[in-house]
Structure 1
Amino acid sequence: MVAPENSPSEDTNPERLAAHTAADSPIFESEDQESAQFLDQFLDQALQTAQGEDAPRPHDGSSGNAAPPGPGLIESICWMFGVFGAHFLGIMLFLVCGVIYLIATSNISQDPDTFRKEIAQLVEGHPLEAAGVEQAVFVFIGLIAVGLRLGKRPLQKLNLQPFAISTGFLLFICVLPLALMSGELYRIAFDAWSLVAKQIPILERFNEMQTMEIVKDMAANNSLWSLILVIAVFPAIGEELIFRGMIGRGLIARWGLVPGIVITSIMFGIVHAHPAHVIAVIPLGMFMHYVYYVTRSFWAPMLVHFMNNAFAVSMAKMATELPESAASLGDETQPVHPLIVASAALFLTAVCIQLWKTRVKYMTPQGEEWTPGYPSTEQPPANSPVTMMREKAHPLLYAAGVFLFLIFLVSMAAFSPQQEAVTAQPEAMQLITF
């Protein structure tokens, strides 16, 4: 998957292409034409869906007049609310199954107040089962909805080609710095939110939606493998399909790379409900979307999503079984030393540069970079004379990455907080699932 260096022509530079696409977006039309443009866009999207987006597209690297695929901003917002709806249906299914179980076992009361208490006790006593049904329903609905919206050749549009082993290793070692930085961002955001909530008591109800508090409770009474299935596998499939595979596909094609990633990641954060959690996962969503774009592989953001959540639940499980060695696990009140945060940020910056330098490109026989007419991660049509290429980064860039990662590890060992005369290890952080 590694090819010799071959720079794309200026006319197909992704940044210029993104700017060109954004400039042609309906948001730049005059106010007098806004309604008409919106209607045209809606009809175009309906036509693309009906035709499976099989309209002819240029294969010569030029932007052409190809209509951008996937949802626009309004439809993307509807998809975001659809995520809430799918989770709600999952919860309702669990409650229905719970009522059927109580009726079948003759453990249900005829008194309405007692009945509500029995249902509440059922949910509180089986939080992992409730989350499992909720997530399974969400993934099932997401697979059907995305498949219908993508139309023909959905796998080609998602792009399920494998990525390089070296890229996988690089993403693996990014998990700890990402978890640390998102945890510190969560701590800062939660402190700020707590100050606001004290002034407006009704806002404290948001604290009931803290995902990691629920995860810690589930970790004490369930196996690690069941936790990973429900909290790591299901979200990695469902949320990546909706946000990176569907919403991000349409927004990047219309708004360009940077605005599309930012808007998609904000929507991704909003579905996590608690304001502090929302702020903490937005940068993670941006990183995953960036990884998707540079690797041209849907497996890459899924892997990052899975590894982050699996790492978080593994550390939560360790805290319940080995409290003496994980005394400060998940303690968001413990700030992370600024040098640790700085070293993590520098390392992740180097990783992003390296991923961009080694990004996957589809090259035509003329030596130009192929594009369907808009920024995209999709594969070229099967009959296109296009070759996938991945350039090598300069050796100094690899050396810089190794050096910065070692600096990060040293700063972790030197500046982690002390508790009971024992140096807290990297697990002494607020771990965020998303």
Structure 2
Amino acid sequence: MKGFVSSRLHPLLALLLLLALIIGAACLAYFLVALACIAFFGVRSTQEFEALLRNPQLSAHGWSALMLMQGLLLLIGFGGAALALASAQGVPWSEYFAPRRPVSGWWLVLAALVIVVSLPAMSGLIAWNADAQFPTFMHKFEVWAREKETQAQDLTRYLTQFTSTGRLLVALLVVAVVPAISEELVFRGVVQKQLTRWFGSYHAGVWLSAILFSAIHTQFFGFVPRLVLGAVLGYLFAWSGNILVPMAAHFAQNAVQILLLYAQQRGALGASYDPDSTEALPWPWMLLSAVLTLGLLRLAYQQFRVPVVPVVSHTLTGAGLVVEGQAPPVGHTLTGHGVEPAPGSPTT
């Protein structure tokens, strides 16, 4: 497959191209959402469409319209842009996002388990970050960040009102499946890969992409927990070499939260459970969670990492292929498959 952009494009230019593709794809997704609202939700003008998205709780179709917009913006705007970049560079999707394939199903389970086990430990980070205080000179930023946090919480609370099993299934698709695919294609599949190329270190690629992953959500009182989550997802991708591994972990993160909310709304978790609480769990639970998470990450590193093949010195001489100073046996020849017995030699 031949692309119209070099696969050796400088990482900065590749990231700028990705940004341009995201903007274009997001515009397309927004247009498709508008068409769907006209066709299915009785929207008759631009003003009605904007009012529907601005105050969805005032419309009978508000929840459906918002879910549709969330899903298409992520699927087309993010996922589509990442795939388009790979195609533009002439690299097959499987090679670009999963150079190490196939992967064992056990790897996907292990990646999901890392995230689930880490949730109690993450509650400590969530509590600490939620109570963060900014310096006096950043007061205006803090006020703005608090407003964005409140808006995000209100939107999440509205979208997670599961009045039926159908709504739960839609939420699992839009809030768990689609972000796991689209965000991982962008942040781990493209951004992390390009930053790793740029700085020559996969650690730099993991942490810088995790910072961008957290910042783009514009929830600064949840910035640190999401940063840590992004780093875990980044290392899972760096170690495994397959985008399906962080996708499985990302899906587990979102799906568990949705299922807990659904269980709470059905009264299965008791009246004391508050899904909006930012309080930390008891420290023994957090400590146990942290220890188990680190142990699972260590196991993941051992299971996923690509073995390093020692570099062996090879020199082609008149005597044949010299391997670390040793010439091959007489009657052997160098072929596309390595050193093999020459046709008609005594060893054949």
Q: Deviations over 1:307-351 (max 9, x none)?
A: 111111111111111166253232424322223222222222222
Deviation (angstroms), 1:168: 3.1
2:95 corresponds to which residue?
156
The separation in 1 between residues aligned to 2:136 and 2:116, in whole angstroms, is 30
Any conservation in 1 of the 2:263–2:269 contact (CA below 8 Å)?
no
CA 1:95/1:323 → structure 2, altered by over 3 Å: closer, same or farther?
farther
Contact 1:91 1:130 in 2 (8 A): no
Structure 1 residue 360 displacement after superposition: 3.9
Q: Which amino acid aligns with 2:91?
A: K
- Equivalent position of 1:423 in the other structure: none
After superposition, the Cα gap between the structure-2 partners of 1:357 and 1:86, relative to the gap in structure 1 and judged at 3 Å, is same
Distance 1:102 1:152, change over 3 A: same
Q: Distance in 2 between matches of 1:254 and 1:191?
A: 35
Correspondence 1:339 to 2:339: no
CA distance in structure 2 between the aligned counterparts of 1:360 and 1:335, rounded to whole angstroms: 33
Q: Point out the structure with max Rg over C-alpha.
A: 2
Q: Structure 2 CA distance, aligned partners of 1:334 and 1:196?
A: 25
Alignment counterpart, residue 272 of structure 1, candidates 214, 217, 224 = 217
From 132, 140, 143, the counterpart of 2:76: 140
Assess, with a 3 A threshold, how the Cα gap between structure 1 residues 82 and 50 changes in structure 2: closer, same or farther: closer
Cα distance in 2 for partners of 1:180, 1:71 equals: 41
Q: 1:185 aligns with which of 105, 109, 125?
A: 125
Q: 2:148 aligns with which of 185, 206, 215?
A: 206
Instruction: Give the deviation of 1:115 after TM superposition.
Output: 8.9
- Count the aligned residue pairs: 302
Which SS does the other structure have where 1:291 is aligned?
A: helix
| % same residue | 15
* Higher relative contact order structure (alpha carbons within 8 Å, sequence separation ≥ 6): 1
* Uncovered stretches (5+) of structure 2, i.e. residues with no partner: 314-335, 339-348
Which AA in structure 1 matches 2:193?
Answer: R
| C-alpha separation in 2, matches of 1:319 and 1:284 | 24
Partner of 2:174 in structure 1? Answer: 230
RMSD: 3.8
Distance 1:363 1:385 in 2: 21
Cα-to-partner distance string for 1:12-36 (whole Å, 9 max, x where unaligned): xxxxxxxxxxxxxxxxxxxxxxxxx
Q: Secondary structure at the match of 1:174?
A: helix
CA offsets 1:105-134 (integer angstroms, 9 cap, x no match): xxx79xx7x997566444654234313333
Offset from partner CA, 1:355-378 (integer Å, 9 cap, x none): 22233426769789xxxxxxxxxx
8 Å contact 2:113–2:249 — kept in the other structure?
A: no
Letter in 1 for 2:97: L
The residue type paired with residue 284 of structure 1 is L
- Shift of the 227–51 alpha-carbon distance from structure 1 to 2, 3 Å rule, reads closer
Q: State the secondary structure of the residue aligned to 1:186.
A: helix
Q: Indicate the residue corresponding to 1:286 in structure 2.
A: 231
> Which residue of structure 2 lines up, in the alignment, with residue 129 of structure 1?
65
Q: State the TM-score, normalized to the length of structure 1.
A: 0.59
| 1:94 lines up with 2:33 in the alignment | yes
Q: Is the 8 A contact 1:365 1:385 kept in 2?
A: no
Give the match's secondary structure for 2:132: helix
Map of 1:310 onto structure 2: 255
Aligned residue in 2 for 1:215:
156
